[in-house]
Amino acid sequence: MERWMAVSITVEFDNETREALREALEDMENPVDINVFVGEDCKYCDATVKLIENIAEESPSTGGEHLLRVHVYRRGVDDDVFSRHGVYRVPSVTLLDGAVKYTGIPAGEEVRGLVETIIRISTGDSGLDESTVRILAGELVEDTYIENIVTPQCPYCPYAALLINMFAFEVWRSGRRNLVADTIEAYENPDIADKYNVTSVPAIAVNGNLLFIGVPFEEDLVERIVAVVKRHEKVAAETIADSATKM
């Protein structure tokens, strides 16, 4: 649809932006691996690699290597890695073995949320409330897929991305891999935006259910996620039970 026509993307940073990146990334403590997935005939793949490399260049160095470590994978060559990270579209960017994902180039305003995500993963501090962490790490054991639909010029979208990314981070470091946070660029993936009839961003869906337009409060998001996931589990259990009685 016309509202999702692509916009111009800038991935080169001026000196002022690079300085701001350097200052922000100084808070990194441990190495972080960031993965870029590309393919042939891909409009934004080269720009995505350049964007991530530019960010990595401003991260602190130790032993001659930057703390943000960039890995580039190509469709048709590294299909096993694509599969492990659950990547089906290019370009995509992942962290934490695919638990945190950006489908489409995380450019424009999205850089802010990505950088803060990297810092929090590096320091091991999600910034989430303890009650949220308990639910995510202890109670939310069902498979959960959070989609956050964004555009590069949206000033609120990075906050939504950071929030769901930290949800995925807490589940990931609890030792489970059942929650994926996927920030989806609408201009590159209009079919996904149209599937939810999105006309305003950020828009957050969980397991195929559109839950929020705008940035939700942390407690509201975790509450709605649990409600959606539990409801689906209940429906599935009832369906199985109903089928069993008819056998």
Per-residue pLDDT of the chain (247 residues; tens, 9 = 90+): 345 555 556 677 889 999 999 999 999 999 999 999 999 999 999 999 999 999 999 999 988 899 999 999 999 999 999 999 999 999 999 999 999 999 999 999 999 999 999 999 999 999 999 999 999 988 888 999 999 999 999 999 999 999 999 999 999 999 999 999 999 999 999 999 999 999 999 999 999 999 999 999 999 999 999 999 887 654 333 322 333 334 4
* pLDDT for the residue 233: 52
Q: Domain limits at 91?
A: 2-245
* pLDDT for the residue 235: 39
* pLDDT for the residue 6: 55
* pLDDT for the residue 2: 45
* pLDDT for the residue 14: 87
Q: Report whether 215 contacts 183 (CB < 8 A).
A: no
Instruction: Point out which residues pair with 95 in neighbouring strands.
Output: 100
Q: Could you tell me the CATH number of the domain that includes residue 179? A: 3.40.30.80
Number of domains composing the chain = 1
* pLDDT for the residue 5: 53
With CA atoms as reference, report the closest residue to 93 among 76, 117, 128: 117
* pLDDT for the residue 7: 55
* pLDDT for the residue 238: 34
Cα separation, 56 vs 209, in Å, equals 35
Give Cα 111 to chain centroid, integer Å. Answer: 12
